[in-house]
Chain A
């Protein structure tokens, strides 16, 4: 059997390594990715403040895949033919090489099983002026993060000569996700400016689409503290006040110029913010894959949502927030084609987790649900195990499931990197998608929904950096490190 994985990020790479480990040599594992390097994305924020370099957070994929005898095509996927073509019933994916030696050349890769782990398309175009090609910076890729630090460092040098500056960090559109990454970046930025002796000259503004601080796209959380149950937003606000970081909530950025950000908020008001440096995350769409049936009729809209994410075994019926249910969320990540799965950011969520809000202008301001990091890797593991079982047992029923409504997450949000002075917020939540029937008070199990800030969190984040790169390089006993 041939198992093809599109994408070599956290979920796709996890799936590829586990498939190769657990399938016999009779079967082939093939990875298609436009990137030549794997990137431990959680550490990109440290590249963005100069604590690490691009080299520290990436490694060459081909070396690992050659060692593990996984066939690797450095290419982007263009089109799926899940029913094959009239000339051949075997399903295949059309790819276009990005490797310099074969740039632009197209090929067809047949498969028996396909995993779509293509991750996000960074949709900077959604907001005029957003992105490294325009006026703002990003930490979504290691290249962007390196460039971000370069610009930041230039500004710091000017600040050392007396310049006062406004630095804006947050989300560049009302429907962004990854607010946690923006949270990490703003506090690492604060930490860096203090270390450089220029913090007093900086006005730092956190510009977020979250309705309250600490929402993180998961509707916030209730935490137990000193016998009380306290909203996580109180702790988040406390950190912002402690570090003198100002904030704007419920924002949708309309446009950005070289010196000004224009945004609207939940009140419907339209505001401007002059700035000197901005790191604003883009909204995501799925990568632009198309699909055709056996008669060459386009079926893209059957397989993908309007935003380009792949539909899986979720309940996509449009419903009001009050009718949302944990059972809306997918379990096996299998699509309508029994041999195709979508995992990580590539799968289409049924809806948000946080309550979506619209302002009086009709603008949707709604954090998209995060599905990165640990959940993403767990999906990779789950689908790999299902495919192994399906091959061994000659069935089209997946053997494993991992719904975000039955899965927890452990997140470490850095608030400053230093071996003895750094801190990070260590957060656990269970489940990711709240279940108010099972946990009426807060939607989550308070025994496993916790948060604290301290140096230990920084050590853990550092440990995770080295551990997950070791695991991703498939060094000895890599598979012992859990997702």
Chain B
């Protein structure tokens, strides 16, 4: 069977601190703004550019 068992696979798991921070409000409020900033940077880089073959 090609099934990978989540219980048996050797993978690294997040520690308690990391798990706590995932829903810790003050930290997540900060992350909300920082992720939005990162995404805004991504959007600005990704809205296309002038087609250099254009004769305009």
Contacts and interface: CB of A to CB of B under 8 A. Distances in A.
Contacts of B39: 410, 426, 428, 460
Interface in B12-56: 12-14, 21-23, 25, 27-29, 31-32, 35-36, 38-43, 45-51, 53-56
Contacts of B21: 454
11 contacts: A234-B11, A237-B9, A243-B6, A271-B1, A378-B46, A389-B56, A395-B55, A402-B48, A410-B43, A426-B35, A454-B22
8 smallest CB-CB distances across A and B, nearest first, come from: A402-B48, A456-B32, A456-B31, A410-B39, A455-B28, A382-B48, A401-B51, A407-B46
A483 B6 contact: no
A218 interface: no
A56 interface: no
A401 B35 contact: no
Contacts of B1: 271
Interface residues of A, number: 62
B1 to A, nearest CB: 6
A409 B3 contact: no
A134 interface: no
A240 B5 CA distance: 9
A454 B22 CA distance: 4
A456 B29 contact: yes
Interface in A244-276: 244-251, 265, 267, 269, 271, 273
Interface residues of B, number: 40
Contact of A247 (B3, B28, B32): B3
B49 A402 contact: yes
- Most chain B CB within 10 A, of A237, A382, A409, is at A237
Contacts of A456: 28-29, 31-32, 35
B4 A246 contact: yes
A249 B2 contact: yes
A253 to B, nearest CB: 13
B54 A399 contact: yes
Contact of A482 (B35, B43, B55): B43
A395 B2 contact: no
Given A249-B4, A452-B31, A408 B56 contact: no
A267 B1 CA distance: 11
Contacts of A455: 22-23, 25, 28
Nearest to B48: A402
A341 interface: no
Nearest to B12: A238
B55 A397 contact: yes
A423 to B, nearest CB: 6
A430 B25 CA distance: 29
A9 interface: no
Contacts of A400: 48-51
Given A234-B12, A408-B45, A420 B25 contact: yes
B47 A483 contact: yes
A381 to B, nearest CB: 7
Nearest to B19: A242
Interface in A197-225: 205
Contacts of B43: 374, 410, 482-483
B53 to A, nearest CB: 6
A203 to B, nearest CB: 10
Contacts of B46: 374-375, 378, 402, 407-409, 430
A39 interface: no
B26 to A, nearest CB: 11
A408 B42 contact: yes
Contacts of A389: 54, 56
Interface string A375-419: 100100110011001000101011111100011111000000000
Contacts of A329: none
A175 interface: no
Contacts of A244: 6-7
A448 B37 CA distance: 11
A92 interface: no
